[in-house]
Amino acid sequence: MVDTPPVHIEVKDLSISYDGTPALSGVNLDIRKNEIFGIIGPAGSGKTSFLKILNRMDAEVTNMSYEGTVSYNGVDVRNWRNLYSLRRKVGVVFPLPVGLPMSIYENVAFSPRIRGIKNKAELDVIVEKCLTRAALWDEVKDRLHALGSLLSGGQQQRLTIARALSQEPDLLLLDEFSIAVDPVTTMRIEDVLKELREELTIVLVTNLVQQCRRLADRTAFFLQGECVEVGNTEDFFTGTVQDQRTRDYVEGRFG
């Protein structure tokens, strides 16, 4: 019998609103350590809003508020000592690459420097390790001091992943990471994510249901501000889900 991994994120009765208008209501789910947890659903269903709560990005959005409880490693995210200590543990990759206006090397070394690492030899090891884990090292190792913004779109997205990994997170949030990436690069990043699952927990928001099927261990289906269903990913594709709306979405009847 395989032991169930411990809970990494526990969400109870989560409701999110903007200026009092509901965006997501009554979400109850858990995300387990070292799994890829997929979130699917059409645009406007609350997926990105959900991600924002996981590392308290709501604190930067003045009209956003939430009720309920989100616990990270057993601690309510509202009760963390400060937001920086939480966000160090939670890496985020957005739909479009967001590179810092500096060299490839400094993009990855930025977070370690903030943590107080100044030794160049130590930074060199971190940069190489993170770029390797993001499947980018071999392509950029001879031009580390070139601007990151000069990389192709797919390379910039992998640089974003490398920068997120340089925080040494134990949770990685990805919001439509492949929206601006070509299919070949998408598959390379997917391979990276499968390997990273051994080291950390990944929450993957995607509109691509087949991508979710390839990657996610378990999946939640969001629709019109509701978490309709949570279950083993393969069950979503073998007709064993409970809600007809889930089946209709996965089979492409709407979305």
pLDDT for residue 98 is more than 80: no
The Cα 204–Cα 34 span in angstroms is 13
Domains parsed from the chain with CATH numbers: 1-89+170-255 (3.40.50.300), 101-168 (no CATH)
Q: Over the stretch 40-58, which tens digit does the pLDDT of each residue have?
A: 999 999 999 999 999 898 8
Report helix, strand or coil for 166.
Answer: coil
The Cα 9–Cα 6 span in angstroms is 9
The answer to whether the beta carbons of residues 10 and 73 sit under 8 Å apart is: no
The residues facing 231 across adjacent strands are: 219
The answer to whether the beta carbons of residues 96 and 180 sit under 8 Å apart is: yes
Mean pLDDT, to the nearest integer, of 149-171? 91
Q: What letter would DSSP give residue 167? A: T
Determine which helix (DSSP H) or strand (DSSP E) holds 124, and give its type and residue range: helix 120-133
> What confidence tier does 88 reach under pLDDT thresholds 50, 70, 90?
confident
pLDDT of residue 9: 96
DSSP secondary structure of 138-160: HHHTT-TTSBGGGS-HHHHHHHH
Mean pLDDT, to the nearest integer, of 115-127? 95
DSSP secondary structure of 74-96: TEEGGGSS-HHHHHTTEEEE-SS
Mean pLDDT, to the nearest integer, of 97-110? 88
pLDDT of residue 2: 55
The Cα 192–Cα 251 span in angstroms is 27
Encoded amino acid at 216, one letter? A
Q: Over the stretch 56-86, which tens digit does the pLDDT of each residue have?
A: 988 889 999 999 999 999 999 988 878 888 8
The residues facing 65 across adjacent strands are: 17
Determine which helix (DSSP H) or strand (DSSP E) holds 70, and give its type and residue range: strand 64-72
How many angstroms from the chain centroid is the CA of residue 232? 18
Mean pLDDT, to the nearest integer, of 114-139? 94
